[in-house]
């Protein structure tokens, strides 16, 4: 359901949430190595996320990326929208242009409610909630 880019972005943000602070910033190279994301790709994603206030960054010899409380309040949906666009989550699973409730594709009824529930869930789930689940051992992420 998520593109590799979105998966990489979420892994990078969660890594920062578990391992960084305003005083302990982490460089893209370290994030790349820890999350198995190609370094150039991690840098590009992190810069994009920083431009949209999903992560914070600082330049200089002690620079790097980190999360603030504001960043932790970011809904997961924002990351998905920034990287892939909203269309990926709201479009027809068969990529039919005219699929909707009045003209459903063959899979529309099968996935419609599940997709709507998932969309609602990622709109209301914050990065901070996912980080808390990882820290509390409720979910697993090799970081």
Q: How far apart are CA 89 and CA 2, in angstroms?
A: 9
Question: According to the model, what pLDDT value does residue 18 have?
Answer: 95
The span from the CA of 116 to the CA of 6, in Å, is 19
Q: Dump pLDDT digits (tens) for 82-111.
A: 999 888 888 888 889 888 889 999 999 898
Q: Which residues of the chain have pLDDT under 70?
A: none
Mean pLDDT score across all residues of the chain: 93
Q: In this structure, how many other beta carbons lie within 10 angstroms of the beta carbon of residue 99?
A: 18
Residue range of the domain that includes 75: 4-85+126-135
- If 0-12 CB within 10 Å is exposed, 13-18 middle and 19+ buried, where does residue 37 land? buried
Is 121 a domain residue? no
d(CA 95, CA 62): 46
How many folded domains does the chain comprise? 1
The answer to whether residue 79 is domain-embedded is: yes
Output the pLDDT for position 88.
80
Radius of gyration of the chain (CA): 17
Q: Provide the CATH number for the domain around residue 66.
A: 1.10.10.10
In a domain, 114, yes or no: no
Q: Is residue 115 part of a domain?
A: no
Asked whether residue 141 is domain-assigned, the answer is no
Q: pLDDT tens digits, residue range 14-25?
A: 999 999 999 999
Half-sphere exposure of 1 (CA within 13 A, CB side): 11
Q: What is the pTM of this model?
A: 0.89
């Amino acid at each position: 359901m998520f593109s590799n880019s979105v998966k990489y972005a979420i892994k990078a943000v969660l890594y920062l949430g578990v391992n960084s602070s305003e005083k302990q910033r982490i460089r893209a190279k370290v994030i790349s190595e820890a999350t198995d994301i190609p370094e150039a790709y991690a840098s590009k994603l992190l810069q994009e996320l920083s431009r949209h206030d999903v992560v914070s960054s600082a330049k200089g010899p002690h620079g790097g990326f980190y999360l603030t409380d504001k960043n932790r309040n970011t809904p997961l949906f924002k990351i998905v929208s920034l990287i892939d666009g909203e269309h990926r989550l709201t479009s027809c699973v068969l990529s039919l242009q005219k699929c909707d409730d009045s003209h459903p594709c063959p899979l529309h009824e099968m996935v419609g409610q599940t997709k709507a529930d998932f969309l609602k869930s990622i709109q209301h789930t914050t990065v901070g909630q996912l980080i808390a689940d990882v820290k509390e051992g409720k979910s697993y992420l090799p970081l």
